[in-house]
Chain A
Amino acid sequence: DTEVTQTPKHLVMGMTNKKSLKCEQHMGHRAMYWYKQKAKKPPELMFVYSYEKLSINESVPSRFSPECPNSSLLNLHLHALQPEDSALYLCASSQEQDSKQFFGPGTRLTVL
């Protein structure tokens, strides 16, 4: 298995909702990442997990809460989001934190 999967593909939520994004890989990679991408902009790093420990938090607002339950799974819990949080959320993984990164297809999030 050489892919990163993300669910759901699309998500529409209100500002009072709580939802979660899920990312999974079975390549034995020990680093996993969340990126946020707005339209016509490059991906921006949000969080990095290395060996299931949070390695980097790019000063992301607390309404985004990452979780790494095991080496194959990465979640992003969302609550009290704002309309400006609408974006494509991308998950990636790599063998180690500075190795070649592989991206999932992303979740397109719309906050109403």
Chain B
Amino acid sequence: QKEVEQDPGPLSVPEGAIVSLNCTYSNSAFQYFMWYRQYSRKGPELLMYTYSSGNKEDGRFTAQVDKSSKYISLFIRDSQPSDSATYLCAMSATNAGKSTFGDGTTLTVKP
């Protein structure tokens, strides 16, 4: 079993929809949680970085961490065609070490 499991997708939504992307994990030592966005044939870019449980909001994006359930989510409000990409979750036990990545969820937002 993988340490990090990500909803596989693909996911296709109409423009303006609310999107929910999710990951579960098994390692209770994880404390740092990241979401990356990767456009086709490009390197991933960091979207959100969260420490421990709780919510973090940045514009149309909200990251949610529930450590008791070992579950993290990324919500995208008012989705746009430019949000079409693969989204990767990542986690780390320390703030100075390597991260473990999920396999990614590919999102398509249709105009």
Q: Real complex partners, A and B?
A: no
